[in-house]
Chain A
Amino acid sequence: MPPAPPAQPAPDRADLLQGTLEMLVLKTLALEPLHGWGIAHRIQSMSKDVFLVTQGSLYPALIRMKRRGWVKTSWRVTENNRRARYYELTAAGHRQLDTEHSTWQRASSAINLIMSATLAPEGA
């Protein structure tokens, strides 16, 4: 377990990119069904504490994804015997993850190309 995060975000923490939260949640749920806190915690640890998902954005996002039919929910009992709502990817959710993933890859590689570009003489 990583050390407890202090109240203030760590200096090396980054804001989630606009529009990526849903993709990250889809990815997380593609691994296994999880409850809300689990999703937030998993994203935080997978990103090595770079991304902190606030509940204020997580739960509305989950509701939206449910409305779109990407996830389904069920109440289950956790390993420490508490009732929790679990979110699980649907077939539509898997398809959506694929779409978003490939879109992201194209976009990020394009951004990387731009950001790593150096000024080379034209027609060299």
Chain B
Amino acid sequence: MNTFSDIVERIRGLLFRRSDERELAEELRFHLDMETEHLRRTGVSEHDARRHSLIALGGVERVKEDVRDARGTRLFQDSGADVSFATRTLRRNPGFALVAILTLAIGIGGTTAVFSVVNAVLLQPLPYSQPGQLVRLYQNSAAHPDDRGFVTPVHYLDYRSRMSSFEAAAAIETYSEVGADIGTGDGVRRIRLLPVTAEYFDIVRVHPEIGRGLQPQDENATVVVVSHSLWLEQLRGDRSAVGKTLTMSGRPYVVAGVMPDGFRDPIVGSVDAWVPVDLAPGRDVSNADNHYFSVIARLRGATPIASSQAELDALSLTLAKQYPSASYVRARLYPLKEDIVGSSSRALEILLGAVALVLLLVCVNIANLMLVRGSERAREFAVRSAIGAGRARLVRQMLIESLTLALAGDVAGLVVARLSMSGIVRLADGAVPRLETLSLDPRLLLFSVVVATACALVFGLAPALRIARTQPGDVLRGQSRSSTGGSAQMRLREWLVVSQVALAFVLLVAAGLLLSSFQRIRDVPLGVAPANVLTFELHLPTVRYDSTRRAAFYDDLAATVAKIPGVRAAGGISRLPATGNYHVWGTQPLTGPLARTPRGDIGAQQRVVAGDYFRAVGIPVIEGRVFDAQDVSGAPDRVVVSQTFARRLFPGMSAVGQRIAAGGRQSDIIGVVGDVSINNEGAEAAYVYHSHRQWAGNRAWALTQVVSLNTSRAHVERPIAGAISAIDQQLVMFKPAMLEDVIGRGAAQRVLMLRILLVFAGVAITLAALGLFGVLSFGVRLRAREFGIRMALGADSGVVRRMVLRKGFAVTAIGLGLGVVGALMTSRLIASVLFHVSPLDPRVMLGSILLMGAIAGLAAYLPARRATQSDPLSVLGSE
């Protein structure tokens, strides 16, 4: 055989398909004419001659098909034809195409986006070398073993030198007072400074791209390692910047190194500069109750965390004897990743479950759509099969049609994925750690594309295969029920809808539970009145503000601001209320029944306040008084405590007038104030409030200002800024925000999850309703003849309507029953993210059943109404 001419002919055939077809038609016509002419000449009549020659030819189209086969370009040509035919068919039925493509788009897009979030936050390791070795160390006490207390400098020094299973342990200053002002004049801005020990860089195993990290001998030196962006901004990207001086808060620092671009601290994220932490307080045993370090460590080699923990437990026993006064003597190690991701992980697992449910629902829906479509086209396929279409050809046609549909869905899914990704990042608004690393993972995309496409293909093909097996004659003779609505197939479709209802119900319950938790959280008393309270930060440069000036400044500021029209009260505090743990110090009663007993030894939240703080945030004074002008630095140390604190340490008696020890000082309790939640979920905590004027000398507190308003924020923000610059032109109002928003930010993660689940539940209900509607409508069409006869025989429309509704009711009821079982099975998973709501909350369950039932009722009513609206005569006449 001449291979070359073969290939040339095939290619030519592809290129000149149109003219080939024309020539073939002409050739066959010529043949037919010749044959007819030939017969006619032998005496046959014109008409008979034509007929005979046609029969002899064996059907023009059949011959054409065979010739096309012989050309050897068949596969390509037909596929092309199939694709264009498929698009035409789909365009002729835009409703079906649109629903299928949208369903696929939601399935692929939604699942990919949410899965990417889970992947970015949960599955991907920390971006440091051998992240499995990284642990975080928290201190706790025998009474509170699950506490995650910060670490005292005293204990840190012991952990660092005595833990042999640690390759290294680093201490990081926990509190945000340690910022610095950089620049001069109007260009002054606050940067984020992170005091760390020298081990820090070894533990994260990221070293400066220029220069070096901090060294052990740097401990009290004024050296700084700057971030890449600060290096570009303040040192103009000078590669010889090492050794030069950078002035921060008026103090000259020697630049030791520049960190590589994109390096982020594992705990706090973006940092502008790293300076040596001051370890001197750790050498003073009196600080064994002063918890202010975050400690991270790297385990040596492949040391399991459990064996390191065992060593730590043994060391804790020794340390307890060494520092008998310390209240938190034990410590526990947590994998660093778990510590950072922590609370998000369960939420993300639930989202992942929701994604799986939605993907399943999408597949069920696609299956249903494809089955209906296959049934509807049984007749078309029978006709095509009867006039000579090969069975393989029909199946291939169906395959290509499904593929075309799936491809369109995939593309739409890609778009939806991109959109929902940016949507999720916007919704999350910093509430989910590490979300900034989010990107569309091609493997994930591939996964959902493959799943959705496979689903479309399998269920698109199933009807085609079945049609290929049926005898076209049967279908065409009108025994169509055997192939279009075979009762087995109808049952399959009904079960698909049942599963849809069940899946949608599970999602609906989850969304309902979350919504209900969210309402509970909103309603929970926080102990403060955050409405209409403006907050902002003010950072006082340490060079120009010594402790005396700072003490005076914050009170003067509060007094000045309070005089501005529209301001009710103004004050400052070291940590805004209901925004989490901060300064948990060991605290002991010195008087009362629990004086100097282990039970009286508690870790209490310590806050430093200035001005009229309590009135500004609406904390009521229960007993005694709050700080006033008498509580100055020379006066005896005085504290105000919360009700919970008073109840715990001075049960059954008045706390006012009692004495406590906290933060290395002994103080008199002068008043008791209302309880304040530690977070936005209403968790109670014991508070001790100190007066800033008495504590200004302790450290450079950066008090966040709170200003309660009886007018809108816009009216007072400018006068307040004016008042600040009247006191000191270089000070700026930093990060102004409403207290409500600041407290609410902690709930953002819950809000994010709630929103995603609500969207998913909405999608699920819609899909289930569409499925039910589709199945019932189809059933009605199949039984149109029966309904027509019934109505012609006198059945009133109510009877017919009830017949359809009953079917819808049965499907929904079974689906709901299974859905309740599913909700029970998933209740344990979701319980951990709920707040004051039982996972089997009857209100939510009942509400979900009613909502689902109502939507199902609507979906069933429309086909039921159509069943009664058909005119018996026209239905019967059409058969």
Of the candidates A1, A4, A69, the one whose C-beta lies within 8 Å of that of B6 is A69
Give the contacts of B47-69 with A (CB-CB under 8 A): 52, 55-59, 62-63, 66-67, 69
Give the contacts of B1-17 with A (CB-CB under 8 A): 1-2, 4-6, 9-10
Q: Is the CB of B6 within 8 A of A68?
A: yes
Give the contacts of A50-102 with B (CB-CB under 8 A): 54-57, 59-61, 63-64, 66-69, 75, 82-85, 92
- Chain A CB count within 10 A is highest, among B26, B33, B41, B70, for B70
B858 on the A face (CB < 8 A): no
A7 on the B face (CB < 8 A): yes
Contacts of B55 in A (CB 8 A): 7
Q: Is the CB of B5 within 8 A of A64?
A: no
Q: In the complex the two chains form, what is the Cα distance from A51 to B429 in whole Å?
A: 85
Known: A37-B31, A56-B63, A60-B66. A4 touches B44 (CB 8 A): yes
- Chain A CB count within 10 A is highest, among B38, B56, B69, for B56
B27 on the A face (CB < 8 A): yes
Contacts of A67 in B (CB 8 A): 5-6, 9-10, 70-72
B265 on the A face (CB < 8 A): no
Contacts of B26 in A (CB 8 A): 83, 85
Contacts of A82 in B (CB 8 A): 30, 33
Contacts of B59 in A (CB 8 A): 56
Contacts of A1 in B (CB 8 A): 41-42
Contacts of B62 in A (CB 8 A): 56
Q: Is the CB of B71 within 8 A of A63?
A: yes
Of the candidates B10, B43, B58, the one whose C-beta lies within 8 Å of that of A4 is B43
Query: A9: shortest Cβ distance to chain B, in Å?
Result: 10
Least CB separation from A52: chain B residue: B56
A121 on the B face (CB < 8 A): no
Q: In the complex the two chains form, what is the Cα distance from A68 to B30 in whole Å?
A: 25
Contacts of B743 in A (CB 8 A): none
Q: Is the CB of B30 within 8 A of A4?
A: no
Q: Is the CB of B70 within 8 A of A37?
A: no
Known: A1-B42, A36-B27, A60-B69. A69 touches B2 (CB 8 A): yes
Give the contacts of B186-200 with A (CB-CB under 8 A): none
Q: Is the CB of B66 within 8 A of A68?
A: no
B796 on the A face (CB < 8 A): no
Give the contacts of A20-45 with B (CB-CB under 8 A): 35-37, 40-41
**B 795-822 to A, binary, CB cutoff 8 A, 1 in contact else 0:** 0000000000000000000000000000
Q: Is the CB of B30 within 8 A of A63?
A: no
Contacts of B34 in A (CB 8 A): 37, 41
A3 on the B face (CB < 8 A): yes
Contacts of A35 in B (CB 8 A): 27, 30
Contacts of A75 in B (CB 8 A): 23
Count residues on chain A whose CB falls below 8 Å from chain B CBs: 28
How many contacts A-B (CB < 8 Å)? Answer: 84
Of the candidates B2, B10, B38, B72, the one whose C-beta lies within 8 Å of that of A41 is B38
Q: Is the CB of B28 within 8 A of A55?
A: yes
Query: B73: shortest Cβ distance to chain A, in Å?
Result: 10
Q: In the complex the two chains form, what is the Cα distance from A1 to B10 in whole Å?
A: 39
Query: B602: shortest Cβ distance to chain A, in Å?
Result: 94
Q: In the complex the two chains form, what is the Cα distance from A80 to B176 in whole Å?
A: 104
Contacts of B38 in A (CB 8 A): 4, 41
Q: In the complex the two chains form, what is the Cα distance from A60 to B58 in whole Å?
A: 13
Q: Is the CB of B5 within 8 A of A68?
A: yes
- Chain B CB count within 10 A is highest, among A1, A57, A64, for A64
B349 on the A face (CB < 8 A): no
Contacts of A69 in B (CB 8 A): 2, 4-6, 9
Q: In the complex the two chains form, what is the Cα distance from A84 to B27 in whole Å?
A: 6
Q: Is the CB of B9 within 8 A of A36?
A: no
**A 4-18 to B, binary, CB cutoff 8 A, 1 in contact else 0:** 100100000000000
Query: A45: shortest Cβ distance to chain B, in Å?
Result: 11
Q: Is the CB of A56 within 8 A of B66?
A: yes
Contacts of A61 in B (CB 8 A): 70
Of the candidates B35, B42, B70, the one whose C-beta lies within 8 Å of that of A64 is B70
Q: Is the CB of A4 within 8 A of B42?
A: yes
Least CB separation from B62: chain A residue: A56
Q: In the complex the two chains form, what is the Cα distance from A82 to B32 in whole Å?
A: 13
Q: In the complex the two chains form, what is the Cα distance from A41 to B447 in whole Å?
A: 61
Contacts of B621 in A (CB 8 A): none
Contacts of B43 in A (CB 8 A): 4
B39 on the A face (CB < 8 A): yes
Known: A4-B43, A55-B28. A63 touches B67 (CB 8 A): yes
Q: Is the CB of A83 within 8 A of B52?
A: no
Contacts of A36 in B (CB 8 A): 27, 30-31
Contacts of A40 in B (CB 8 A): 31
**B 842-858 to A, binary, CB cutoff 8 A, 1 in contact else 0:** 00000000000000000
Q: In the complex the two chains form, what is the Cα distance from A84 to B28 in whole Å?
A: 10
Q: Is the CB of B57 within 8 A of A92?
A: no
Least CB separation from A70: chain B residue: B2
Q: Is the CB of A54 within 8 A of B56?
A: yes
Q: Is the CB of B71 within 8 A of A4?
A: no
Q: Is the CB of A59 within 8 A of B6?
A: no
Q: Is the CB of A60 within 8 A of B30?
A: no
Query: B64: shortest Cβ distance to chain A, in Å?
Result: 9
Q: In the complex the two chains form, what is the Cα distance from A85 to B33 in whole Å?
A: 14
Q: In the complex the two chains form, what is the Cα distance from A60 to B72 in whole Å?
A: 10
Q: Is the CB of A37 within 8 A of B30?
A: yes
Least CB separation from B1: chain A residue: A68
Known: A36-B27, A37-B31. A7 touches B52 (CB 8 A): yes
Q: In the complex the two chains form, what is the Cα distance from A67 to B7 in whole Å?
A: 8
Q: Is the CB of B70 within 8 A of A63?
A: yes
Q: In the complex the two chains form, what is the Cα distance from A41 to B34 in whole Å?
A: 10
Q: In the complex the two chains form, what is the Cα distance from A3 to B39 in whole Å?
A: 9
Known: A7-B52, A67-B72. A85 touches B63 (CB 8 A): no
Contacts of B41 in A (CB 8 A): 1
Q: In the complex the two chains form, what is the Cα distance from A59 to B39 in whole Å?
A: 21
Contacts of B67 in A (CB 8 A): 59-60, 63
Contacts of B5 in A (CB 8 A): 67-69
Contacts of B9 in A (CB 8 A): 66-67, 69
Q: In the complex the two chains form, what is the Cα distance from A35 to B801 in whole Å?
A: 68
Q: In the complex the two chains form, what is the Cα distance from A85 to B30 in whole Å?
A: 9
Q: In the complex the two chains form, what is the Cα distance from A14 to B661 in whole Å?
A: 119
Of the candidates B23, B33, B52, B56, the one whose C-beta lies within 8 Å of that of A55 is B56
Q: Is the CB of B2 within 8 A of A68?
A: yes
Least CB separation from A66: chain B residue: B9
Contacts of A60 in B (CB 8 A): 66-67, 69-70
Q: In the complex the two chains form, what is the Cα distance from A109 to B26 in whole Å?
A: 41
Least CB separation from B7: chain A residue: A67
Q: In the complex the two chains form, what is the Cα distance from A69 to B23 in whole Å?
A: 19
Q: In the complex the two chains form, what is the Cα distance from A85 to B27 in whole Å?
A: 7
Query: A48: shortest Cβ distance to chain B, in Å?
Result: 16
Q: In the complex the two chains form, what is the Cα distance from A104 to B423 in whole Å?
A: 77
Of the candidates A37, A59, A92, the one whose C-beta lies within 8 Å of that of B2 is A92
Q: Is the CB of A54 within 8 A of B66?
A: no
Q: In the complex the two chains form, what is the Cα distance from A64 to B73 in whole Å?
A: 12
Q: In the complex the two chains form, what is the Cα distance from A75 to B20 in whole Å?
A: 13
Least CB separation from B6: chain A residue: A67
Of the candidates B6, B28, B42, the one whose C-beta lies within 8 Å of that of A3 is B42
Contacts of B2 in A (CB 8 A): 68-69, 92
Of the candidates A37, A59, A84, A85, the one whose C-beta lies within 8 Å of that of B35 is A37
Contacts of B56 in A (CB 8 A): 7, 54-55
Contacts of A4 in B (CB 8 A): 38-39, 42-44
Chain B residues proximal to chain A, CB less than 8 Å:
1-2, 4-6, 9-10, 23-24, 26-28, 30-31, 33-35, 38-39, 41-44, 52, 55-59, 62-63, 66-67, 69-72
Using A36-B27, A60-B67 as known contacts, list a sample of 5 further A-B pairs with CB atoms less than 8 Å apart, ordered by residue number in A. A55-B28, A55-B31, A57-B66, A63-B67, A84-B30
List 9 A–B pairs whose Cβ atoms lie within 8 Å, in order of A's numbering: A37-B34, A54-B58, A55-B56, A55-B58, A57-B66, A59-B27, A63-B70, A82-B30, A85-B27
What are the 10 closest A-B residue pairs judged by CB atoms, nearest first?
Answer: A69-B5, A4-B42, A60-B70, A69-B2, A63-B70, A37-B34, A67-B9, A56-B58, A60-B66, A37-B31
